[in-house]
Amino acid sequence: MNSYRHSRDMKNKKSHVYLAAAIAGITFAIYLPGLQNGFVNWDDPLAYDNPHLHALGLDLFRWAFTDISTVYWMPLVWLSHALDYALWGLNPVGHHLTNNLLHAGNTFIVSYLAIRLLLIAGFTTKPEESILPDERGVLIAGGMTGLLFGLHPLHVESVAWVAERKDLLSGIFLLLSIMAYIRYAAGLSDERPQVKAGAFRLNRQYLLSLFFFIGAVSSKPMAVTLPAILLILDWYPLRRICTPKNIATLLAEKIPFIVGSVMISVVTIIAQRRLGGVVTEVSIPERLLVAARALTVYLWKVVLPVDLVPFYPYPKVIALGMPEYFLPMILVAAMTAACIYTARKQKMWLAAWGYYIISLLPVLGIAMVKTSSPFIADRFTYLPGIAPFLIMGVFVAWGREQVFLSRTWRGVAAAIVIAAVFAMTYATVKQIAVWKDSISLWTKVIDADPSVPAFVYNNRAVAFHERQQIDKAIKDYTQAIALDPGDYAQYSNRGTAHVALKQYALALADYEKVIALQPLNPSPYYNIACLRALENNAVEACRWLEQSLEKGYRDLEHIRKDPDLDSIRTASCYQEIMAGQ
């Protein structure tokens, strides 16, 4: 029988808070090197170079709550970035500091939540089914879960990438929603849970859970899985699912959550379709194969976090006969069957496995897939990874308690765990450095797989260009064009780089290619006007400038101040053109 099963209270509830706070503090300290990182040119400009975020006011709120131009509806994320801009401007330190604080906060909640869930499991589990024999085991398991969550290198992407604020904000709201739900469902008003399998009732904790859920889906739509997660918790460890009547009551209880999930899912699908994120050339069977592979790859990277890169290209060939798809399908099926088989005696495995799959479901690419997007991403494991982390924590605590382990072997086991935590921490610090700037980021991606999509080379080229490393920029632009010759922006970027080196003939060829691809786009006409002005050819410059205006170029203030046009300011053709505007 569990030694803590019939104890009246944990003697010191503060010990849970102190432990969680210590782990959160360690996590914050480990991520301090990230404050030296800059912004990267992969979505970060949306967070700092976004005119909508540069002034706090009603216009900001109106835009934030109606915009879906970036695939997601995420008003709270926009508001947080706007607040960062108001406090820090373009200083990346402040933006990274906010991410670090949010991750430390999430780590605190995960540590505390893991302890509470394990305590509930201890009170609701039959003695013969128990894995952890005492309160110390619970603290060890919960503490390890928090350490893994806070320090695992898989989570660096969500923290070190400013634009991934949505993971952190959604995470903190979702975790708080679960905490409130547990208090609602299990009556955690004191130290000893009194599990209720009774009727649905609106109370403060329920409304808090719903409120935090709204915050979660207002930060990232991946949180739409929460209603299913709450049902898993109802089954285990809360054990509220006892009869068919209970199931009906519990489903009714989730209706507000389900309605919110459906609404956010519809908005996300609409946004994806507008931006070309839903494609049909990948069949559903192929998507299922990729999804099974993703589930196993994520687990492998949780256990052995090596070869982590910011971008994993979508596979070009997908077939059941290939080992990388056939074996994961077998493994996923086998693990599911094993969890179901053991559920009568030990429900934890099936509950953890179900949470892992369901929380990853929105990002497995089954319903929607964009082949230019990654097939997996480290950031997608931010909350789903809690399940394997919890299992690993329980395993560590269970191993400690085995009677066959002598004091000597316990010391060896402790040394192994400590070494593993230090190794994980070292890997995390190294991974933080990958996000130092755009060049280090994209170089890491290209070194891992040179056949990445064109935008990777283009983004590194832009970074080289900004550093005035023009030759390197042109080389990357050329590679990007080779990979995607239909993208006009890459020709335009390379043309601008050629202009910087005064290679006007090459620049002209690139701008003319842009016109061939985008004949109604006024920018290449304007760029050629500037090029001709730099060549002191006023007649040609005016001709192209006039065409750019005819195509819709309307930034007259830029025209008047652009130094590239200085050589034709006194030309009569220029003065006539501007006089007519």
Helix, strand, coil shares, percent, the chain, to 5: 70, 0, 30
- The torsion angles phi and psi of 313, rounded to 5 degrees, stand at -60, 145
Q: Is the CA virtual torsion 483, 489, 490, 491 positive or negative?
A: positive
For the segment 142-152, the average pLDDT, to the nearest whole number, is: 97
Please say whether the beta carbons of 82 and 97 come within 8 A. Answer: no
- Contact 444/310 with Cβ under 8 angstroms? yes
The reported pTM is: 0.91
Given this model, what pLDDT does residue 555 score?
92
Report the pLDDT value the prediction gives residue 272, as an integer from 0 to 100: 76
Residue 276's pLDDT is 63
Model confidence at 439: pLDDT above 90: yes
Half-sphere exposure of 294 (CA within 13 A, CB side): 29
Instruction: Mention every residue, 6+ apart, whose C-beta is less than 8 A from residue 335.
Output: 353
- For 376, phi then psi, to 5°, come to -140, 165
What are the beta bridge partners of residue 312? Answer: 376
Residue 7 has pLDDT above 50, yes or no: no
pLDDT tens-digit series, residues 32-67: 999 999 999 998 888 888 999 999 999 999 999 998
- Out of 133-137, 258-262, 336-340, 468-472, least confident range: 133-137
pLDDT for the residue 262: 95
In the predicted model, what is the mean pLDDT of residues 125-153? 84
Q: Which of 104, 61, 96, 112 is nearest to 82 (CA)?
A: 61
| pLDDT value, residue 198 | 45
pLDDT at 397: 87
Q: For residue 574, what are the contacts with CB-CB under 8 A and spacing of at least 6?
A: 538, 541, 542, 545, 565, 568
Give the pLDDT of residue 249: 86
Question: Which residue is it, tokens 């013969």?
Answer: 128
Residue 127 CB coordination number (10 Å): 11
Question: Is the separation of the CB atoms in 277 and 71 below 8 Å?
Answer: yes
Strand partners, 376: 312
What is the reported pLDDT for 124? 59
The secondary structure of residue 35, as a DSSP letter, is G
pLDDT at 271: 80
Q: Give per-residue pLDDT as tens, 449-471.
A: 998 999 999 999 999 999 999 99
Q: How many Cα atoms occupy the beta-carbon half-sphere of 322 within 13 Å?
A: 12
Binned at pLDDT 50, 70 and 90, residue 195 comes out as very low
Residue 580 is predicted with a pLDDT of 83
- Separation of alpha carbons 424 and 19, rounded Å: 20
- 3-state DSSP call for residue 566? helix
How big is the chain by its Cα radius of gyration, in Å? 28
Question: Residue 364: how many CB atoms within 10 A of its CB?
Answer: 22
pLDDT average, residue stretch 225-238: 95
What percent of the chain clears pLDDT 70, i.e. is strictly above it? 90
Mean pLDDT of the chain: 90
In this model, does residue 180 exceed pLDDT 80?
A: yes
pLDDT at 475 exceeding the cut of 80: yes
Could you give the CA distance from residue 218 to residue 74 in angstroms, rounded to a whole number?
A: 5
Q: Three-state SS string across 42-79, please?
A: CCHHHHHCCHHHCCCCHHHHHHHCCCCCCCCCCHHHHH
Q: How many CB atoms lie within 10 A of CB 63?
A: 17
Residue 188's pLDDT band (boundaries 50, 70, 90)? very low
Relative orientation angle of helices 135-151 and 14-30, to the nearest 10 degrees: 20
Range 120-148 average pLDDT: 81
Question: Residue 526 and residue 543: Cα distance in Å, rounded?
Answer: 10
Q: Is the N-terminal amide bond of 237 cis, ω within 30° of 0?
A: yes
- CA dist 287 and 369 (Å) reads 8
25 vs 19: CA distance, rounded Å: 10
Reading the block at residue 41, the tokens are: 């040119």
User: What pLDDT was estimated at residue 125?
Assistant: 62
For 245-299, write each residue's pLDDT tens digit: 788 889 999 999 999 999 999 988 888 777 665 555 688 899 999 999 999 999 9
Task: Say yes or no to pLDDT of 19 above 80.
Answer: yes
Position 463 scores a pLDDT of 97
pLDDT for position 137: 87
Q: Which pair of tokens denotes residue 184? A: 């609602």
Model confidence pLDDT, tens digit, residues 511-567: 999 999 999 999 999 999 999 999 999 999 999 999 999 999 999 999 999 999 999
Share of the chain above pLDDT 90, in %: 75
Q: Which residues, 6+ apart, have CB-to-CB distance to 375 below 8 Å? A: 290, 293, 294, 312, 313, 314, 315, 365
